[in-house]
């Protein structure tokens, strides 16, 4: 969703492939697409809403990582605000 929104806002001017093309490439290379679940949504509402980081899509990734016990790979320093909730790399 975030890639599609950023592409539509022209924040990724050099981003050429469609999201469907990217997903198909991932699937063809052995990755799975995670389906969103009620647990992800419920976890989102429990995240602290920090004044320093209010991006809803980042927060949703954090909620999903928490539920699925996943590590988030990012260069965004704002994710460190949630280091007590999820693992970061």
Q: Which residue has the tokens 């976890």?
A: 43
For 4-30, write each residue's pLDDT tens digit: 888 888 988 888 888 899 899 999 999
Please provide residue 87's backbone torsions phi and psi, each rounded to the nearest 5 degrees: -80, 140
Question: Residue 13: its pLDDT value, please?
Answer: 86
Global pTM reads: 0.80
For 39-55, write each residue's pLDDT tens digit: 999 999 999 989 998 89
Question: Is the pLDDT score of 37 beyond 90?
Answer: yes
Question: Residue 2: its pLDDT value, please?
Answer: 79
Question: Residue 59: its pLDDT value, please?
Answer: 94
Cα 11 from Cα 31, distance rounded (Å): 26
Environment class of residue 69 by beta-carbon count within 10 Å: exposed (0-12), middle (13-18) or buried (19+)? exposed
């Amino acid at each position: 969703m975030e890639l599609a929104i950023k592409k539509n806002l022209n924040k990724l001017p050099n981003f050429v492939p469609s999201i469907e093309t990217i997903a198909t490439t991932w699937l063809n290379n052995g990755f799975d697409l995670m389906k969103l679940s009620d647990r992800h949504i419920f976890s989102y509402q429990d995240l602290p809403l920090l004044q320093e980081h209010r991006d809803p899509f980042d927060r949703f990734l954090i909620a999903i990582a928490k539920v699925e016990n996943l590590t988030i790979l990012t260069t965004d320093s704002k994710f460190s605000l949630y280091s007590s909730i999820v693992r970061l790399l």
